[in-house]
Structure 1
Amino acid sequence: MTVERSKLRLYFPQWQGATYDNLMACVPELSREEVTTGYHLGSQLVKMMFPKGDGKEVEVPVSLDTKDVATEKGIYARSALLKQHKAAFEVLRQNNPSHILVMGGECSTSVAPFGYLTKKYENDVACVWIDAHPDINLPFDDYTGFHAMALAHILGMGDEEFLREMPGKLAVDKALVVGLRSMEPKAKERQPEIGLKSLSPEEYRANPTSVLEFVKGTGARKVMVHLDLDVLEPTELVCAVGRDADGMRIAEVAGLINTLAAEFDMVGLTIAEHMPIVELKLRSMLSQLPTF
Protein backbone atom coordinates (compact mmCIF):
# COMPACT_ATOMS: atom_id res chain seq x y z
CA MET A 1 0.00 0.00 0.00
CA THR A 2 1.42 3.39 -1.04
CA VAL A 3 0.54 6.33 1.22
CA GLU A 4 1.47 9.92 0.44
CA ARG A 5 3.86 11.17 3.11
CA SER A 6 2.24 13.85 5.24
CA LYS A 7 3.65 14.61 8.68
CA LEU A 8 1.55 15.97 11.53
CA ARG A 9 2.81 17.32 14.85
CA LEU A 10 -0.22 16.81 17.08
CA TYR A 11 -0.14 18.99 20.19
CA PHE A 12 -2.55 17.31 22.62
CA PRO A 13 -2.31 18.85 26.14
CA GLN A 14 -4.84 16.49 27.72
CA TRP A 15 -4.63 16.17 31.49
CA GLN A 16 -7.97 14.61 32.54
CA GLY A 17 -6.80 11.00 32.17
CA ALA A 18 -5.11 10.99 35.59
CA THR A 19 -7.23 11.09 38.75
CA TYR A 20 -6.89 13.81 41.35
CA ASP A 21 -5.90 11.33 44.09
CA ASN A 22 -3.18 9.86 41.90
CA LEU A 23 -1.62 13.27 41.33
CA MET A 24 -2.03 14.64 44.86
CA ALA A 25 0.08 11.78 46.17
CA CYS A 26 2.88 13.22 44.03
CA VAL A 27 2.58 16.91 44.96
CA PRO A 28 0.43 17.15 48.12
CA GLU A 29 1.45 20.72 48.93
CA LEU A 30 -0.22 22.27 45.86
CA SER A 31 -3.89 23.06 45.29
CA ARG A 32 -6.26 20.75 43.45
CA GLU A 33 -6.39 23.06 40.41
CA GLU A 34 -2.61 23.38 40.23
CA VAL A 35 -2.03 19.62 40.43
CA THR A 36 -4.83 18.33 38.20
CA THR A 37 -3.74 20.48 35.26
CA GLY A 38 -0.07 19.58 35.72
CA TYR A 39 0.03 17.49 32.55
CA HIS A 40 -1.25 20.50 30.62
CA LEU A 41 1.81 22.49 31.67
CA GLY A 42 3.97 19.44 31.01
CA SER A 43 2.74 19.17 27.44
CA GLN A 44 3.43 22.87 26.87
CA LEU A 45 7.03 22.29 27.93
CA VAL A 46 7.35 19.21 25.70
CA LYS A 47 6.08 21.25 22.77
CA MET A 48 8.50 24.08 23.56
CA MET A 49 11.55 21.81 23.91
CA PHE A 50 10.92 19.26 21.16
CA PRO A 51 13.16 19.87 18.12
CA LYS A 52 11.46 21.68 15.27
CA GLY A 53 10.32 19.61 12.30
CA ASP A 54 8.75 20.12 8.92
CA GLY A 55 5.36 18.70 9.81
CA LYS A 56 2.19 20.74 10.11
CA GLU A 57 1.35 21.49 13.75
CA VAL A 58 -2.24 21.21 14.96
CA GLU A 59 -3.65 21.51 18.48
CA VAL A 60 -6.44 19.36 19.86
CA PRO A 61 -8.77 21.61 21.92
CA VAL A 62 -8.64 20.65 25.60
CA SER A 63 -10.86 22.01 28.37
CA LEU A 64 -9.27 23.51 31.48
CA ASP A 65 -12.45 23.15 33.53
CA THR A 66 -11.18 21.42 36.67
CA LYS A 67 -14.76 20.77 37.85
CA ASP A 68 -15.67 18.63 34.82
CA VAL A 69 -14.10 15.50 36.30
CA ALA A 70 -17.04 13.36 37.42
CA THR A 71 -16.45 9.60 37.31
CA GLU A 72 -18.99 8.09 34.93
CA LYS A 73 -19.22 4.49 33.72
CA GLY A 74 -16.05 3.67 35.60
CA ILE A 75 -13.90 6.42 34.03
CA TYR A 76 -12.72 9.59 35.77
CA ALA A 77 -13.56 12.78 33.81
CA ARG A 78 -15.23 10.61 31.15
CA SER A 79 -17.35 13.41 29.64
CA ALA A 80 -14.42 15.73 28.96
CA LEU A 81 -12.21 12.89 27.74
CA LEU A 82 -14.80 11.60 25.28
CA LYS A 83 -15.34 15.07 23.84
CA GLN A 84 -11.58 15.55 23.38
CA HIS A 85 -11.19 12.02 22.00
CA LYS A 86 -13.73 12.89 19.28
CA ALA A 87 -12.03 16.23 18.64
CA ALA A 88 -8.68 14.46 18.11
CA PHE A 89 -10.25 12.14 15.54
CA GLU A 90 -11.76 15.13 13.74
CA VAL A 91 -8.30 16.73 13.52
CA LEU A 92 -6.89 13.49 12.13
CA ARG A 93 -9.71 13.10 9.59
CA GLN A 94 -9.23 16.66 8.36
CA ASN A 95 -5.45 16.34 7.97
CA ASN A 96 -5.14 12.67 6.94
CA PRO A 97 -1.49 12.38 8.03
CA SER A 98 0.81 9.48 7.20
CA HIS A 99 3.10 10.15 10.21
CA ILE A 100 2.14 11.61 13.59
CA LEU A 101 4.23 13.06 16.41
CA VAL A 102 2.06 13.43 19.54
CA MET A 103 3.18 15.98 22.08
CA GLY A 104 1.12 15.05 25.17
CA GLY A 105 -0.40 15.17 27.72
CA GLU A 106 -1.00 11.99 29.66
CA CYS A 107 -0.91 8.52 28.12
CA SER A 108 -4.41 8.51 26.67
CA THR A 109 -3.26 11.06 24.08
CA SER A 110 -2.02 8.02 22.10
CA VAL A 111 -5.47 6.43 21.85
CA ALA A 112 -6.87 8.43 18.93
CA PRO A 113 -3.69 8.74 16.80
CA PHE A 114 -2.70 5.08 17.27
CA GLY A 115 -6.26 3.97 16.49
CA TYR A 116 -6.14 6.10 13.35
CA LEU A 117 -2.74 4.71 12.27
CA THR A 118 -3.82 1.12 12.99
CA LYS A 119 -6.67 1.51 10.51
CA LYS A 120 -4.59 3.40 7.97
CA TYR A 121 -1.93 0.69 7.79
CA GLU A 122 -4.16 -2.32 8.51
CA ASN A 123 -1.91 -5.33 9.30
CA ASP A 124 1.34 -3.53 8.48
CA VAL A 125 1.95 -1.73 11.80
CA ALA A 126 3.19 -2.82 15.23
CA CYS A 127 3.26 -0.92 18.53
CA VAL A 128 6.12 -0.61 21.03
CA TRP A 129 4.74 0.79 24.29
CA ILE A 130 7.67 2.09 26.37
CA ASP A 131 6.20 2.44 29.83
CA ALA A 132 6.63 1.38 33.45
CA HIS A 133 2.95 0.32 33.33
CA PRO A 134 1.00 -1.76 30.78
CA ASP A 135 -1.98 0.66 30.59
CA ILE A 136 -4.47 -2.21 30.20
CA ASN A 137 -6.85 -1.20 32.98
CA LEU A 138 -10.55 -1.30 32.11
CA PRO A 139 -13.50 0.82 33.29
CA PHE A 140 -14.55 -0.07 36.85
CA ASP A 141 -11.11 -1.40 37.81
CA ASP A 142 -9.87 -0.08 41.15
CA TYR A 143 -8.06 2.80 39.43
CA THR A 144 -10.38 4.73 37.11
CA GLY A 145 -7.88 7.05 35.38
CA PHE A 146 -8.19 6.76 31.58
CA HIS A 147 -4.43 7.07 31.09
CA ALA A 148 -4.12 3.60 32.66
CA MET A 149 -6.60 2.29 30.02
CA ALA A 150 -4.87 3.72 26.95
CA LEU A 151 -3.32 0.58 25.46
CA ALA A 152 -6.42 -1.45 26.30
CA HIS A 153 -8.56 0.83 24.11
CA ILE A 154 -6.02 0.68 21.27
CA LEU A 155 -6.33 -3.12 21.52
CA GLY A 156 -10.13 -2.86 21.30
CA MET A 157 -11.04 -3.33 24.98
CA GLY A 158 -12.86 -0.83 27.17
CA ASP A 159 -15.63 1.74 27.02
CA GLU A 160 -18.04 1.05 24.14
CA GLU A 161 -18.55 4.70 23.22
CA PHE A 162 -14.81 5.36 23.01
CA LEU A 163 -14.35 2.18 20.99
CA ARG A 164 -17.07 3.17 18.51
CA GLU A 165 -14.93 6.17 17.57
CA MET A 166 -11.86 3.99 17.00
CA PRO A 167 -11.40 3.27 13.28
CA GLY A 168 -8.97 0.42 13.89
CA LYS A 169 -8.21 -2.23 16.52
CA LEU A 170 -4.60 -3.34 16.98
CA ALA A 171 -4.07 -7.10 17.35
CA VAL A 172 -2.52 -7.89 20.73
CA ASP A 173 0.23 -9.96 19.10
CA LYS A 174 1.46 -6.76 17.41
CA ALA A 175 1.99 -4.88 20.70
CA LEU A 176 4.94 -5.05 23.09
CA VAL A 177 5.37 -3.21 26.41
CA VAL A 178 9.00 -2.30 27.15
CA GLY A 179 10.22 -1.17 30.58
CA LEU A 180 7.34 -2.74 32.54
CA ARG A 181 7.96 -2.78 36.28
CA SER A 182 4.75 -1.71 38.01
CA MET A 183 1.29 -3.29 37.73
CA GLU A 184 -2.01 -3.12 39.55
CA PRO A 185 -3.50 -6.49 40.56
CA LYS A 186 -6.23 -6.55 37.89
CA ALA A 187 -3.81 -5.58 35.13
CA LYS A 188 -1.39 -8.25 36.34
CA GLU A 189 -4.13 -10.88 35.98
CA ARG A 190 -5.29 -9.48 32.64
CA GLN A 191 -1.91 -9.41 30.88
CA PRO A 192 -1.48 -13.21 30.48
CA GLU A 193 -5.21 -13.60 29.79
CA ILE A 194 -5.05 -11.36 26.72
CA GLY A 195 -1.57 -12.51 25.68
CA LEU A 196 0.18 -9.13 25.85
CA LYS A 197 3.97 -9.52 25.73
CA SER A 198 6.32 -7.35 27.77
CA LEU A 199 9.94 -6.80 28.77
CA SER A 200 11.14 -5.46 32.09
CA PRO A 201 14.13 -3.07 32.03
CA GLU A 202 16.34 -5.98 33.12
CA GLU A 203 15.01 -8.25 30.37
CA TYR A 204 15.52 -5.55 27.74
CA ARG A 205 19.05 -4.89 29.02
CA ALA A 206 19.91 -8.59 28.81
CA ASN A 207 18.79 -8.75 25.17
CA PRO A 208 18.48 -5.30 23.54
CA THR A 209 17.77 -6.78 20.11
CA SER A 210 14.63 -8.52 21.42
CA VAL A 211 12.44 -5.50 20.54
CA LEU A 212 13.63 -5.47 16.94
CA GLU A 213 13.12 -9.23 16.79
CA PHE A 214 9.58 -8.82 18.10
CA VAL A 215 8.61 -6.19 15.53
CA LYS A 216 10.19 -8.16 12.69
CA GLY A 217 8.30 -11.23 13.91
CA THR A 218 4.97 -9.45 13.50
CA GLY A 219 5.66 -8.97 9.79
CA ALA A 220 4.95 -5.23 10.12
CA ARG A 221 7.08 -2.74 8.21
CA LYS A 222 5.79 0.22 10.22
CA VAL A 223 5.91 0.93 13.94
CA MET A 224 4.15 3.21 16.44
CA VAL A 225 6.11 4.11 19.58
CA HIS A 226 4.58 5.39 22.80
CA LEU A 227 7.00 6.85 25.36
CA ASP A 228 5.72 7.37 28.89
CA LEU A 229 8.41 9.29 30.73
CA ASP A 230 7.78 7.32 33.92
CA VAL A 231 9.70 4.46 32.29
CA LEU A 232 12.92 6.32 33.12
CA GLU A 233 15.14 5.52 36.09
CA PRO A 234 14.24 8.19 38.70
CA THR A 235 17.80 8.60 39.99
CA GLU A 236 18.72 9.74 36.48
CA LEU A 237 15.66 11.89 35.70
CA VAL A 238 12.38 12.52 37.53
CA CYS A 239 9.85 14.10 35.17
CA ALA A 240 6.73 11.99 35.76
CA VAL A 241 4.40 10.90 38.54
CA GLY A 242 5.69 7.32 38.52
CA ARG A 243 9.02 6.96 40.34
CA ASP A 244 9.48 3.21 40.62
CA ALA A 245 13.10 2.16 41.03
CA ASP A 246 15.17 0.23 38.50
CA GLY A 247 13.85 1.93 35.38
CA MET A 248 15.35 2.40 31.94
CA ARG A 249 18.19 4.81 31.35
CA ILE A 250 17.86 7.84 29.09
CA ALA A 251 20.49 6.48 26.71
CA GLU A 252 18.68 3.14 26.50
CA VAL A 253 15.34 4.73 25.65
CA ALA A 254 16.77 7.16 23.09
CA GLY A 255 18.83 4.37 21.56
CA LEU A 256 15.86 2.03 21.29
CA ILE A 257 13.64 4.64 19.62
CA ASN A 258 16.36 5.65 17.16
CA THR A 259 17.07 2.01 16.33
CA LEU A 260 13.37 1.39 15.63
CA ALA A 261 13.26 4.51 13.44
CA ALA A 262 16.27 3.25 11.48
CA GLU A 263 14.90 -0.26 10.98
CA PHE A 264 11.22 0.50 10.35
CA ASP A 265 8.99 3.29 9.11
CA MET A 266 8.09 5.03 12.38
CA VAL A 267 4.61 6.36 11.61
CA GLY A 268 3.71 7.37 15.16
CA LEU A 269 5.61 8.67 18.19
CA THR A 270 4.03 9.91 21.41
CA ILE A 271 5.80 11.71 24.25
CA ALA A 272 3.53 11.41 27.30
CA GLU A 273 3.17 11.93 31.03
CA HIS A 274 5.50 14.86 31.64
CA MET A 275 4.57 16.06 35.14
CA PRO A 276 6.84 19.08 35.74
CA ILE A 277 6.96 19.09 39.55
CA VAL A 278 9.58 21.83 39.88
CA GLU A 279 7.80 24.12 37.40
CA LEU A 280 4.42 23.56 39.07
CA LYS A 281 5.86 24.61 42.42
CA LEU A 282 7.59 27.58 40.82
CA ARG A 283 4.36 28.64 39.09
CA SER A 284 2.54 28.40 42.43
CA MET A 285 5.13 30.61 44.11
CA LEU A 286 5.12 33.15 41.29
CA SER A 287 1.33 33.39 41.43
CA GLN A 288 1.63 34.70 44.99
CA LEU A 289 3.99 37.56 44.11
CA PRO A 290 3.14 41.12 43.08
CA THR A 291 2.47 41.38 39.35
CA PHE A 292 3.63 45.02 38.88
Structure 2
Amino acid sequence: MKNKTLRLLLPQWQGGNNADYYFGAELLAHIVPQSEKTKMIRVPVNADLDQELPIEHGIEGESQLMEQLDAATKILEAEQPDKVIVLGGDCSISQAPFDYLNGRYDGKLGVLWLDAHPDVATIEDSTRDHEMVLGNLLGRGAPQFADKVKNIIQAKNVFFAGLIYDELRPRDQEVNRLNLRYAVPKQLKENSQSILQWVQENDIQHLAVHFDLDVLSPQDFRSIYPAEPYLEGFGAAVGELTLKEVTRILTDVSQEADIVGLSIAEHMPWDAMNLRNALSKISIFND
Protein backbone atom coordinates (compact mmCIF):
# COMPACT_ATOMS: atom_id res chain seq x y z
CA MET A 1 0.00 0.00 0.00
CA LYS A 2 1.39 3.38 -1.01
CA ASN A 3 2.24 5.87 1.73
CA LYS A 4 -0.18 8.76 2.15
CA THR A 5 1.50 12.17 2.04
CA LEU A 6 -0.25 15.30 3.30
CA ARG A 7 0.77 18.88 2.64
CA LEU A 8 -0.07 21.50 5.23
CA LEU A 9 -0.01 25.16 4.29
CA LEU A 10 0.62 26.88 7.62
CA PRO A 11 1.41 30.59 7.13
CA GLN A 12 1.95 31.06 10.86
CA TRP A 13 3.69 34.31 11.69
CA GLN A 14 2.90 34.87 15.35
CA GLY A 15 5.69 32.59 16.61
CA GLY A 16 8.25 35.06 15.28
CA ASN A 17 5.93 38.07 15.53
CA ASN A 18 6.70 38.97 11.92
CA ALA A 19 3.85 39.34 9.43
CA ASP A 20 6.20 38.81 6.46
CA TYR A 21 6.25 35.08 7.23
CA TYR A 22 2.60 34.92 6.16
CA PHE A 23 3.23 35.97 2.56
CA GLY A 24 6.44 33.93 2.48
CA ALA A 25 4.45 30.77 3.18
CA GLU A 26 1.78 31.66 0.63
CA LEU A 27 4.40 32.07 -2.10
CA LEU A 28 6.26 28.95 -0.99
CA ALA A 29 3.15 26.89 -1.70
CA HIS A 30 3.47 27.90 -5.37
CA ILE A 31 7.24 27.40 -5.53
CA VAL A 32 7.50 23.83 -4.25
CA PRO A 33 7.06 21.01 -6.78
CA GLN A 34 3.37 20.49 -7.38
CA SER A 35 1.56 17.15 -7.22
CA GLU A 36 -2.01 16.18 -8.01
CA LYS A 37 -1.51 13.01 -5.94
CA THR A 38 -0.86 14.86 -2.68
CA LYS A 39 -3.64 16.53 -0.73
CA MET A 40 -3.06 20.10 0.44
CA ILE A 41 -4.88 21.45 3.49
CA ARG A 42 -4.64 25.03 4.67
CA VAL A 43 -4.46 25.45 8.44
CA PRO A 44 -6.58 28.43 9.54
CA VAL A 45 -4.27 31.26 10.64
CA ASN A 46 -5.26 34.66 12.01
CA ALA A 47 -4.54 37.00 9.10
CA ASP A 48 -4.83 40.32 10.94
CA LEU A 49 -1.23 41.14 10.10
CA ASP A 50 -1.31 44.67 11.49
CA GLN A 51 -2.25 43.71 15.03
CA GLU A 52 0.09 44.01 17.98
CA LEU A 53 0.49 40.66 19.68
CA PRO A 54 0.10 40.74 23.46
CA ILE A 55 2.45 38.78 25.68
CA GLU A 56 0.31 36.08 27.30
CA HIS A 57 1.89 33.89 29.97
CA GLY A 58 5.30 34.93 28.69
CA ILE A 59 4.62 34.22 24.98
CA GLU A 60 3.79 36.73 22.25
CA GLY A 61 0.46 35.80 20.67
CA GLU A 62 0.04 32.69 22.82
CA SER A 63 -3.74 32.32 22.34
CA GLN A 64 -3.53 32.52 18.55
CA LEU A 65 -0.59 30.13 18.45
CA MET A 66 -2.49 27.66 20.62
CA GLU A 67 -5.56 27.83 18.36
CA GLN A 68 -3.43 27.22 15.28
CA LEU A 69 -1.49 24.39 16.97
CA ASP A 70 -4.76 22.70 17.90
CA ALA A 71 -6.12 23.17 14.37
CA ALA A 72 -3.02 21.61 12.79
CA THR A 73 -3.13 18.72 15.27
CA LYS A 74 -6.80 18.00 14.53
CA ILE A 75 -6.13 17.94 10.79
CA LEU A 76 -3.25 15.49 11.21
CA GLU A 77 -5.25 13.23 13.51
CA ALA A 78 -8.19 13.22 11.09
CA GLU A 79 -6.11 12.61 7.97
CA GLN A 80 -3.66 10.09 9.49
CA PRO A 81 -0.92 10.63 6.86
CA ASP A 82 2.25 8.56 6.69
CA LYS A 83 4.28 11.56 5.54
CA VAL A 84 3.84 15.30 6.07
CA ILE A 85 5.16 18.34 4.20
CA VAL A 86 4.64 21.65 5.99
CA LEU A 87 4.90 24.96 4.19
CA GLY A 88 5.39 27.90 6.56
CA GLY A 89 5.61 30.25 8.25
CA ASP A 90 7.92 30.76 11.23
CA CYS A 91 9.80 27.85 12.81
CA SER A 92 7.02 27.00 15.26
CA ILE A 93 5.18 25.27 12.38
CA SER A 94 7.12 22.07 13.12
CA GLN A 95 5.57 21.28 16.52
CA ALA A 96 2.29 19.64 15.49
CA PRO A 97 3.62 17.56 12.56
CA PHE A 98 6.77 16.33 14.33
CA ASP A 99 4.79 15.39 17.43
CA TYR A 100 2.29 13.54 15.24
CA LEU A 101 5.01 11.74 13.26
CA ASN A 102 6.87 10.68 16.39
CA GLY A 103 3.68 9.02 17.56
CA ARG A 104 3.08 7.53 14.13
CA TYR A 105 6.49 5.87 14.25
CA ASP A 106 6.35 4.67 17.85
CA GLY A 107 8.63 7.31 19.34
CA LYS A 108 11.53 6.32 17.11
CA LEU A 109 11.51 9.34 14.83
CA GLY A 110 14.83 11.00 14.06
CA VAL A 111 14.79 14.79 13.74
CA LEU A 112 17.26 16.57 11.50
CA TRP A 113 17.19 20.28 12.36
CA LEU A 114 18.67 22.28 9.48
CA ASP A 115 19.07 25.68 11.08
CA ALA A 116 21.70 28.25 11.99
CA HIS A 117 19.94 28.51 15.39
CA PRO A 118 18.84 25.66 17.68
CA ASP A 119 15.31 26.83 18.70
CA VAL A 120 15.69 25.39 22.20
CA ALA A 121 15.12 28.55 24.25
CA THR A 122 13.00 28.45 27.38
CA ILE A 123 10.29 30.80 28.56
CA GLU A 124 12.88 32.39 30.86
CA ASP A 125 15.01 33.36 27.84
CA SER A 126 12.54 34.45 25.18
CA THR A 127 8.97 35.50 24.47
CA ARG A 128 8.82 34.02 20.96
CA ASP A 129 7.61 30.50 20.34
CA HIS A 130 9.69 30.04 17.18
CA GLU A 131 12.81 30.17 19.35
CA MET A 132 11.43 27.39 21.60
CA VAL A 133 9.77 24.94 19.21
CA LEU A 134 12.39 22.19 19.38
CA GLY A 135 12.61 22.70 23.12
CA ASN A 136 8.84 22.14 23.27
CA LEU A 137 9.20 18.89 21.33
CA LEU A 138 11.88 17.77 23.78
CA GLY A 139 9.51 18.43 26.69
CA ARG A 140 11.15 21.69 27.71
CA GLY A 141 10.80 25.13 26.07
CA ALA A 142 7.56 26.88 27.05
CA PRO A 143 5.61 24.68 29.51
CA GLN A 144 2.19 25.45 28.01
CA PHE A 145 3.39 24.36 24.55
CA ALA A 146 5.50 21.44 25.81
CA ASP A 147 2.39 20.15 27.62
CA LYS A 148 0.69 19.85 24.23
CA VAL A 149 3.33 17.39 22.99
CA LYS A 150 1.96 13.87 23.20
CA ASN A 151 5.10 12.13 21.94
CA ILE A 152 8.24 13.67 23.46
CA ILE A 153 11.27 13.40 21.18
CA GLN A 154 14.38 11.86 22.69
CA ALA A 155 17.48 14.06 22.79
CA LYS A 156 19.58 11.35 21.14
CA ASN A 157 17.22 11.41 18.15
CA VAL A 158 17.98 15.06 17.33
CA PHE A 159 20.79 16.32 15.10
CA PHE A 160 21.53 19.94 14.18
CA ALA A 161 22.96 20.48 10.70
CA GLY A 162 24.49 23.83 9.85
CA LEU A 163 24.32 25.15 13.43
CA ILE A 164 26.55 28.17 14.06
CA TYR A 165 27.79 26.68 17.33
CA ASP A 166 30.39 29.36 18.09
CA GLU A 167 27.64 31.99 18.22
CA LEU A 168 25.26 30.23 20.60
CA ARG A 169 23.55 32.70 22.92
CA PRO A 170 22.54 32.16 26.55
CA ARG A 171 19.05 31.19 25.29
CA ASP A 172 20.63 28.43 23.18
CA GLN A 173 22.46 26.57 25.94
CA GLU A 174 20.06 23.62 26.05
CA VAL A 175 22.21 22.35 23.18
CA ASN A 176 25.01 21.78 25.67
CA ARG A 177 22.87 20.86 28.67
CA LEU A 178 21.18 18.09 26.69
CA ASN A 179 24.37 17.15 24.83
CA LEU A 180 22.57 17.41 21.48
CA ARG A 181 24.50 16.29 18.40
CA TYR A 182 25.44 18.84 15.76
CA ALA A 183 27.63 19.57 12.75
CA VAL A 184 28.76 23.10 11.93
CA PRO A 185 28.74 24.25 8.29
CA LYS A 186 32.46 23.58 7.80
CA GLN A 187 31.92 19.90 8.65
CA LEU A 188 29.22 19.60 5.99
CA LYS A 189 30.93 21.37 3.10
CA GLU A 190 32.41 18.22 1.57
CA ASN A 191 30.21 15.38 2.80
CA SER A 192 27.31 14.38 5.06
CA GLN A 193 29.24 11.76 7.02
CA SER A 194 28.61 13.17 10.51
CA ILE A 195 24.83 13.04 9.93
CA LEU A 196 24.93 9.58 8.38
CA GLN A 197 26.96 8.30 11.34
CA TRP A 198 24.29 9.62 13.74
CA VAL A 199 21.56 7.92 11.67
CA GLN A 200 23.42 4.61 11.74
CA GLU A 201 24.43 4.73 15.41
CA ASN A 202 20.85 5.37 16.53
CA ASP A 203 19.24 3.01 14.01
CA ILE A 204 17.06 5.82 12.70
CA GLN A 205 14.71 4.51 10.05
CA HIS A 206 12.23 7.41 9.86
CA LEU A 207 13.33 11.01 9.69
CA ALA A 208 11.60 14.39 9.99
CA VAL A 209 13.54 17.35 8.60
CA HIS A 210 13.07 20.91 9.80
CA PHE A 211 14.49 23.14 7.07
CA ASP A 212 14.79 26.71 8.29
CA LEU A 213 15.88 28.51 5.15
CA ASP A 214 18.15 30.79 7.18
CA VAL A 215 20.58 27.89 7.52
CA LEU A 216 21.60 29.06 4.05
CA SER A 217 24.17 31.75 3.31
CA PRO A 218 22.63 35.06 2.17
CA GLN A 219 25.30 35.12 -0.52
CA ASP A 220 23.85 31.90 -1.92
CA PHE A 221 20.11 32.34 -1.24
CA ARG A 222 18.44 35.72 -1.00
CA SER A 223 14.93 34.92 0.27
CA ILE A 224 15.88 34.78 3.94
CA TYR A 225 15.78 37.25 6.81
CA PRO A 226 19.54 38.08 6.86
CA ALA A 227 19.39 38.97 3.15
CA GLU A 228 16.96 41.85 3.66
CA PRO A 229 18.00 44.69 1.33
CA TYR A 230 20.02 47.42 3.04
CA LEU A 231 19.98 45.57 6.35
CA GLU A 232 22.86 46.69 8.56
CA GLY A 233 23.65 43.92 11.00
CA PHE A 234 21.37 40.95 11.57
CA GLY A 235 21.77 40.54 15.32
CA ALA A 236 21.98 36.75 15.31
CA ALA A 237 24.02 33.99 13.69
CA VAL A 238 23.92 33.95 9.89
CA GLY A 239 23.77 30.66 7.99
CA GLU A 240 26.67 29.45 5.89
CA LEU A 241 25.43 26.45 3.89
CA THR A 242 24.55 26.60 0.21
CA LEU A 243 21.36 25.28 -1.33
CA LYS A 244 23.45 22.75 -3.25
CA GLU A 245 24.97 21.46 0.00
CA VAL A 246 21.57 21.13 1.67
CA THR A 247 20.26 19.25 -1.36
CA ARG A 248 23.21 16.86 -1.11
CA ILE A 249 22.62 16.36 2.62
CA LEU A 250 18.95 15.50 2.13
CA THR A 251 19.74 13.21 -0.79
CA ASP A 252 22.38 11.40 1.27
CA VAL A 253 20.20 10.92 4.35
CA SER A 254 17.25 9.75 2.24
CA GLN A 255 19.37 6.76 1.22
CA GLU A 256 19.81 5.79 4.88
CA ALA A 257 16.40 6.67 6.35
CA ASP A 258 12.90 7.31 5.06
CA ILE A 259 12.15 11.05 5.14
CA VAL A 260 8.59 11.12 6.46
CA GLY A 261 8.42 14.78 7.40
CA LEU A 262 9.70 18.02 5.90
CA SER A 263 8.86 21.46 7.20
CA ILE A 264 10.15 24.51 5.34
CA ALA A 265 10.24 27.66 7.42
CA GLU A 266 11.05 31.37 7.35
CA HIS A 267 10.83 32.04 3.64
CA MET A 268 11.41 35.76 3.10
CA PRO A 269 11.04 36.57 -0.62
CA TRP A 270 12.16 40.18 -0.35
CA ASP A 271 11.83 41.14 -4.01
CA ALA A 272 8.30 39.73 -4.27
CA MET A 273 7.20 41.32 -0.99
CA ASN A 274 8.71 44.70 -1.83
CA LEU A 275 7.16 44.66 -5.30
CA ARG A 276 3.76 43.77 -3.88
CA ASN A 277 3.99 46.54 -1.29
CA ALA A 278 5.06 49.06 -3.93
CA LEU A 279 2.23 48.12 -6.28
CA SER A 280 -0.31 48.40 -3.48
CA LYS A 281 0.40 52.13 -3.38
CA ILE A 282 -0.54 52.61 -7.05
CA SER A 283 -4.10 53.80 -7.60
CA ILE A 284 -5.06 51.36 -10.36
CA PHE A 285 -4.65 48.44 -7.94
CA ASN A 286 -7.04 50.08 -5.48
CA ASP A 287 -9.92 50.96 -7.80
Q: Which position in structure 2 is the counterpart of 1:211?
A: 195
Query: Which runs of 5 or more residues in structure 1 are unaligned?
Result: 20-35
Q: Is 1:43 matched with 2:25?
A: yes
Change (3 A) 1:163 1:246: closer
- Counterpart of 1:93 (choices 74, 77, 93) is 77
Q: Is 1:59 matched with 2:10?
A: no
- Asked whether the 8 Å contact 1:133–1:180 carries over to 2, the reply is yes
- Counterpart of 1:144 (choices 102, 123, 127) is 127
Q: Which position in structure 2 is the counterpart of 1:17?
A: 15
- Asked whether the 8 Å contact 2:84–2:262 carries over to 1, the reply is yes
Q: Is 1:277 matched with 2:270?
A: yes
Moved more, 233-242 or 107-116: 233-242
Q: Is 1:81 matched with 2:65?
A: yes
Deviations 1:239-269 (A, max 9, x none): 1214555600111001111222232111100
CA distance in structure 2 between the partners assigned to 1:215 and 1:249 by the alignment: 22
Query: Which runs of 5 or more residues in structure 2 are unaligned?
Result: 228-236
Q: Which position in structure 2 is the counterpart of 1:165?
A: 148
- Counterpart of 2:180 (choices 196, 199, 202) is 196
Which 4+ residue blocks in structure 1 deviate beyond 4 angstroms?
Answer: 243-246
Deviations 1:99-153 (A, max 9, x none): 0011111111011100111111124320100001001011131x32211111111
Deviations 1:262-291 (A, max 9, x none): 321111001111012222221211111012
The TM-score, its normalising length taken from structure 1, stands at: 0.88
Identity %: 32
The TM-score, its normalising length taken from structure 2, stands at: 0.89
- Counterpart of 2:282 in 1: which secondary structure? coil
Change (3 A) 1:106 1:245: closer
Q: Is 1:177 matched with 2:175?
A: no
CA distance in structure 2 between the partners assigned to 1:47 and 1:166 by the alignment: 26
- Counterpart of 1:153 in 2: which secondary structure? helix
Q: Which position in structure 2 is the counterpart of 1:24?
A: none
- Counterpart of 1:222 (choices 183, 187, 206) is 206
- Counterpart of 2:110 in 1: which secondary structure? strand
Aligned letter for 1:258? T
Give RMSD over aligned pairs. 1.8
Change (3 A) 1:207 1:48: closer
